[in-house]
A = this chain, B = another copy of it.
């Protein structure tokens, strides 16, 4: 089978690509070809796999060429992140809304030419939820909570969920939308996401660098490890239509933790000197965005698919440390006493 990952060089996309290549199959079929589109090139070792083909550039510019590819499976992860969309309204519309529409239309064109509908998993986000004066947000959002997004990013994700649902209803694609919780710990540099600090307050201290936490320690949020997130995307892809249930987006599992609990876990795993590198300094822009995010989530439909959150946040930190060690990224852990 031929599988596409959009955003295939990103944090989640890279891990998903490696997981799929290691499995060799998806939904019981052999993966013959794995197409990765991204603004950036995938890492060299991924490219070295003969099954991998990379196409670099904005997704919107690539969708015309995707017509005729007769893709069997698509993981649509490419997205401008929340902070970027708040700063550049047109970028958000183009990267998140127009690109998704163009991708769906490319898949639809192949169905029009006689292909079977591609199975597609769209990575939506917990950012679809938010409080509105007319609709208070519950503390814990569920699969059936009314989404009233309070960012452009969340708006585009919600809009695309509904487009995926309608293209699915028409038989143009076999689509499913899975709402990712905030994925931590992201390696590398901070990105433009308002949620970037949820990784930064763990990643930087472990690397021996000071980190600033822009929100109060009492802030609670549903988070997921990269591994559980990738497992979730694959499980949603492999689920039968009946097991997925309907066409409405589902929540992927999240561990509901406070910043305080994250830092307690950091101390338990890496010691008090590491934790002491986190300083609290409120950033009104970030705090304002985060205040409109849910403090926790429940994922009943995902649980019915056998998906569950990590047991505790220390697990997530240990996974990050193990990943760094496996990648030989010694600098990333140089703040830890050996």
Contacts and interface: CB of A to CB of B under 8 A. Distances in A.
A132 B244 CA distance: 12
Given A146-B144, A148-B248, A248-B135, A89 B170 contact: yes
Contacts of A245: 133-134
A150 B145 CA distance: 18
A132 B247 contact: yes
A149 interface: yes
B169 A165 contact: no
Contacts of A155: 162-163, 165-166
A250 interface: yes
A247 B148 contact: yes
A246 B135 contact: yes
Contacts of A144: 134-135, 146
Interface in A235-251: 245-248, 250
Contact of A158 (B149, B162, B301): B162
A246 B166 contact: no
A135 B247 CA distance: 9
- Counting contact residues on chain A (CB < 8 A from B), the size range is 20 to 34
Contacts of A148: 165, 246-248
Copies of chain A in the complex? 2
Give the most central of A145, A166, A246, A248: most B CB within 10 Å. Answer: A166
Interface string A249-284: 010000000000000000000000000000000000
A152 interface: yes
A246 B134 contact: yes
Contacts of A165: 148-149, 155
Interface string A108-150: 0000000000000000000000001111000000011110111
A159 interface: yes
B149 A162 contact: yes
B150 A169 contact: yes
Contacts of A143: 134-135
A285 to B, nearest CB: 14
Contact of A246 (B132, B145, B159): B132
Nearest to A143: B134
Contacts of A101: 93
A146 B146 CA distance: 5
Nearest to A166: B155
Interface of A: 89, 93, 101, 132-135, 143-146, 148-150, 152, 155, 158-159, 162-163, 165-166, 169-170, 172, 245-248, 250, 301
Given A134-B143, A155-B165, A159-B159, 17 more contacts: A132-B247, A132-B248, A133-B246, A134-B247, A134-B250, A135-B143, A135-B144, A135-B246, A144-B146, A146-B248, A148-B247, A149-B162, A149-B166, A152-B166, A155-B162, A155-B166, A159-B163
In the A-B complex, the 7 residue pairs with the closest CB atoms: A134-B246, A133-B246, A132-B246, A155-B166, A134-B245, A134-B248, A159-B159
18 contacts: A89-B170, A132-B246, A132-B247, A133-B245, A134-B144, A134-B245, A134-B246, A134-B247, A144-B146, A146-B146, A148-B246, A150-B169, A155-B162, A155-B163, A155-B165, A155-B166, A158-B162, A159-B159
